[in-house]
Structure formats: structure tokens, C-alpha cells
Structure 1
Amino acid sequence: MPKIVVTKEEWIEKGIGNFAVGGADALLIEKMARELGCSKSSFYWYFGDREQFIRCLVDEWVRRATYEVMQCSLMEQSVDARIKVLLTSMFSTHTGKDFVYYLRRMGQENFQYRDLLEKVENDRIDFMTSLLVERGFPQEKAISLATVIYHFYLGWYERNKYLGPTANADQLTALLWEYVIQTEGGIE
């Protein structure tokens, strides 16, 4: 039987998927190797140990779920378009899984993951704040609105996370735009 070569990226994809449905307890190397159709030695070729693997998964999730979303919104010319792209991305990218929940749980026992998640959430709020300031909001008002928007997102996500991808991202973006951003005194 030919040897099946599995890439580091395939291991990371598998790990992110497993972590999002069961946390670190779902990262069983031998089981994932069977599911990928390879030997577990390929895992150790890419990752020194399970903890290094978990850190790679978390770093990749952070990159995709935060910094890629920010970069995508920066491709837009106007600040209004950047805000709308960001909001739409926030409400259209969930998969019916819960990476954040398991990362938050892991952070209860490991301060490094707690601090990392806090940094990511602060970066998200800071990014939205910067867009709102660019739109014309005073700094303090922008911070308050960005925090409200992020907490609205967390509540929405918690309520809808197991429903899978939703088609109402545009509706939620329009709702936030009308009742939070326009109503609260941004420049029109």
C-alpha cells in the first residue's frame, strides 16, 4: 500500500475542525491520523508535541477569524464600505461549531490562552473603533459603540452557533448600521 502524505495544512484543518466540536479533548492524534488516512508519525514530523499542535491551531484560527477579516475590510475604498464588509463578515462566517467556547474553556486553565483570547477580542474592538473614528465618531463614543457591536455579535453567535451558516448577515449589518452607527451620531 502506498504511503499517504498528509500536509501540515491538512493536519491543521483537521485539528481546527475537531477542536471546534470538542476542544483539546477531541485532538486525539491516533484517531485523527486514521481519519486522514496516514500514520501518526506524520503528525510528529510537523509538530513536536500535542501542545505545539494546539498552539498552531489557535494561531491559525486567530489569523483567519480576526486578521484576515480585518484585511478583507481594508480592501474597500470608503470607511462606510469597510465597516459594512466587516459587519457582514462577522455575521456570515460562523460554521455551526464553537472554537471560541473551547478556547475560552482552555483559557480558564491556561493563562496564555486566556490572554491570547483577550488580546484577540481587544484587537477586534480596537479595529472597529478605528473605523468608527475614521467615520467621524469621537474616540470615546467609538470605543463604546465598538464594544456594543462586539457584545451584540457575541450574543448573536452564542444564540445561533449550532444552526450553521446563516443567510441573514446582510440584515444584521443593515440593522446595526441603521440603529447603532447612523443613529448614534456618525457623519452622514
Structure 2
Amino acid sequence: MEHAIADTGWRGSHEGWLGAAYESLLESGVDSVKILPLSKRLNLSRTSFYWFFKDREELLDTLIARWRDKNTGGIIRQSEAYAESVAEAMLNVFDCWISKDLFDSPFEFAVRSWALQSTDILAEVQRADQARIDALCRMFMRFGYDEGPADVRARTTYLVQIGYISMQSREDLALRMKRIPEYIAIYTGQTPQQRELDRFFSRHGYRPD
């Protein structure tokens, strides 16, 4: 997705320009992602932008590609990760909601806000929603659920999380972790084993009281 550019001096770098665009998108929306404001943000000349991107549209396309790979890719990869039970498989997906390395919630909110202004981005978001739900449905079916129930459980799992993001809901880690076993039971119909929860808590550096 990213170009390998050797010169990262007075022109900046591909990653630098993209990072500035990402920060501007999150802070102020897509209308702020313009070449002149970004050049001022980076303290670089406007013309240096064109060493790395053909135009603003290419920059925006690259932002969307990054969002697609990070957030849609993250959910799909976690839904396909090895698990001994459907409860553990759901805990793998829940890793996305805890770790920004797997799923970037502020980026998700920013892109969904952008979709309110652009039919093209709205179509991207709708495709992403379907791909994510399909991946979760496949996960349930892998553990023996019929297609209909798998689809409903996948939608319930996904739409609740998107609701959290859209509402910009905030929970401290301890409260979120306390609620997770019940969420797993509701979404999957199975109560997670303590060893499954222990592995989940451990990889997020959480120790229950």
C-alpha cells in the first residue's frame, strides 16, 4: 500500500504526509485533509507533496486503503484465528475492540463521518460492513451454527460494536473486561471457560480483582 521512498529529508516522506492526513481526518474531518494545510502542519513546501502523491484524491484513496486494511482486515483476520470453541473465537474478535493495533476505532468514526458527505465513501463503508458481517457469519458456521442463526448472531455482534463507536461510548478497561463474559454468552450462547478468559485478559495486560 505504501511507497518505498528513500528521500525523507526536506520533502518529507510518503508515511509523513499520510500520517498528517490521518491526524487531520481524525481531528477535523475530511475537509481539513488538503495539501496546503498539511504542508503547514509538516512545515514542508506544498510542492514536496507531489513527490509522493499525484493529487489530493490519491492521498484520500490511500487513507481509505489503510482504513480498509486495518479495520476490515483486522476483524476478518481475528474471526479466522484459531480457537478451541466459539466463545474463544469471539474473544479473538473482541481483541479488536481492545487493541488499537488490530482495529482503530477513532479512524472508524472518522471514516463513517466522512461517508455522510460522500456517496463513494458511503459505498466503501457499506462494502466493509458486509465483508465484516460475512466474516463473523463464517466464524459461527465454522462452529456448527446454521446459516440463519449465524447471520443474526454476526449482525448482533457487529452492530452493537458499531453502535459503541458511533456513540463514542467510553468505558474504562476494568468495566469493559467485567462485561465481556456476559457479552460472549449473549452473542454465542456459550459461557467462556475461565482458561479462555485468562488467556484473553493476559494478552491485554488485565488482572481481574
TM-score of the two chains, using structure 2 as the length reference: 0.73
Alignment of 1:34 onto 2:40: yes
Tell me what 2:123 maps to: 115
Q: CA RMSD, aligned part only? A: 2.5
1:42 and 1:82 map into 2 onto residues whose CA distance is 46
SS at match of 2:51: helix
Q: Is the 8 A contact 1:129 1:145 kept in 2?
A: yes
Against the structure 1 CA distance between its residues 38 and 156, is the aligned structure 2 distance closer, same or farther, given a 3 Å change threshold?
A: same
CA drift at 1:105:
1.3
C-alpha separation between the residues in 2 aligned to 1:85 and 1:32? 37
Alignment deviations for residues 101-124 of structure 1 (CA, whole Å, 9 cap, x no partner): 3232133xx3x2222111100011
CA distance in 2, matches of 1:125, 1:8: 32
Number of aligned residues? 177
Within 5 Å, give how 1:89-168 maps onto structure 2: 89-93=96-100, 94=104, 96=106, 98-107=109-118, 110=119, 112-160=120-168, 163=170, 166-167=172-173, 168=175
Secondary structure of the 1:160 match is coil
CA apart distance, 1:17:
1.9
Deviates more, 1:166-175 or 1:78-87: 166-175
Contact residue 19 and residue 26 of structure 1 kept, 8 A:
yes
More helix by share: 1
Structure with the bigger RCO (C-alpha within 8 Å, sep 6+) is 1
For structure 1, list consecutive stretches of 5 or more residues without a partner in the other structure: 184-188
The correspondence for 1:84, drawn from 61, 85, 91, is: 91
AA in 2 matched with 1:180: Y
Report the secondary structure of 2:82's partner residue. coil
TM-score, normalization by structure 1 = 0.80
